[in-house]
Chain A
């Protein structure tokens, strides 16, 4: 079956540091890949997505590139802010229409950014 593996957290960084959160996946076919972010006490917000190999998703300074050869979708940001402190989830959905709405999530990585 499908699975997503994320690096363990928490990740603690100083403001303006470079961020990388690793994500690798196992899936049949050609999945779409997503990063969602969850702030304390809230639901999930879509951060970025990529639907095919070599696509780069980007939003709010965050980027991730769909790497089929390494089955990875690592999240990066050049300079983090305190307001980026949250839990980040990597997820995939299967490419075919029948199950495209079923997301498989990683365990989440908590990011703490300090001044």
Chain B
């Protein structure tokens, strides 16, 4: 079974631009979560999408948004980029079972550099 895939793998943008990152979950997984990883702040939860609806949200400004499509693929958008948005953005997928004991599987990440 194929793992979580993320595109693009690397991206360079300039301040003020916007960017869209894409994530395809493991087949059959309906939940997609996004995380930001930086040397200073570590791994931080951005948001989770399930059945095309945002279910949970971390403590990030409104410039960070996302969506999920009917095939469970998800996109994350960051508008008006700032230098501090330079990070590795990780996507994770899970089944989101009713029992609540989830295991998340991560993709390779998209490394964003903002100049």
Chain A interface residues (CB < 8 Å from chain B): 32, 34, 36, 42-46, 49, 51, 89, 91, 93, 95-108
B48 at the interface (CB under 8 A from A): yes
Docked-complex contact B106 and A32, CB < 8 angstroms: no
Chain B interface residues (CB < 8 Å from chain A): 4, 6, 31, 33, 35, 42-43, 45, 48, 50, 55-56, 58, 90, 92, 94, 96, 98-109
Docked-complex contact A101 and B96, CB < 8 angstroms: yes
CA distance A107 to B41 in the complex (A): 8
Please name all residues of chain A whose beta carbon is closer than 8 Å to the beta carbon of B90 when the two chains form the complex: 43-44
Please name all residues of chain B whose beta carbon is closer than 8 Å to the beta carbon of A89 when the two chains form the complex: 43
Docked-complex contact A105 and B107, CB < 8 angstroms: no
CA distance A100 to B94 in the complex (A): 10
List 5 additional contacts besides A43-B106, A51-B101; criterion CB under 8 Å.
Answer: A49-B103, A97-B100, A99-B56, A102-B56, A107-B42
Please name all residues of chain A whose beta carbon is closer than 8 Å to the beta carbon of B48 when the two chains form the complex: 101-102
Please name all residues of chain B whose beta carbon is closer than 8 Å to the beta carbon of A51 when the two chains form the complex: 101
Please name all residues of chain A whose beta carbon is closer than 8 Å to the beta carbon of B109 when the two chains form the complex: 42-43
List the A residue with the shortest CB-CB distance to B47.
A102
CA distance A102 to B107 in the complex (A): 16
> How distant is B28 from chain A, measured CB to nearest CB, in Å?
15
Docked-complex contact A101 and B108, CB < 8 angstroms: no
List the A residue with the shortest CB-CB distance to B91.
A43
List the B residue with the shortest CB-CB distance to A52.
B101
> How distant is B111 from chain A, measured CB to nearest CB, in Å?
9
Please name all residues of chain B whose beta carbon is closer than 8 Å to the beta carbon of A45 when the two chains form the complex: 106
List the A residue with the shortest CB-CB distance to B50.
A101
Contact of A101 with B94 at beta-carbon distance under 8 Å, contacts A95-B100, A108-B42 already known: yes
Please name all residues of chain B whose beta carbon is closer than 8 Å to the beta carbon of A107 when the two chains form the complex: 42
Docked-complex contact B100 and A100, CB < 8 angstroms: yes
Contact of A102 with B101 at beta-carbon distance under 8 Å, contacts A43-B108, A43-B109, A44-B90 already known: no
Docked-complex contact B56 and A103, CB < 8 angstroms: no
Contact of A36 with B56 at beta-carbon distance under 8 Å, contacts A100-B101, A102-B45 already known: no
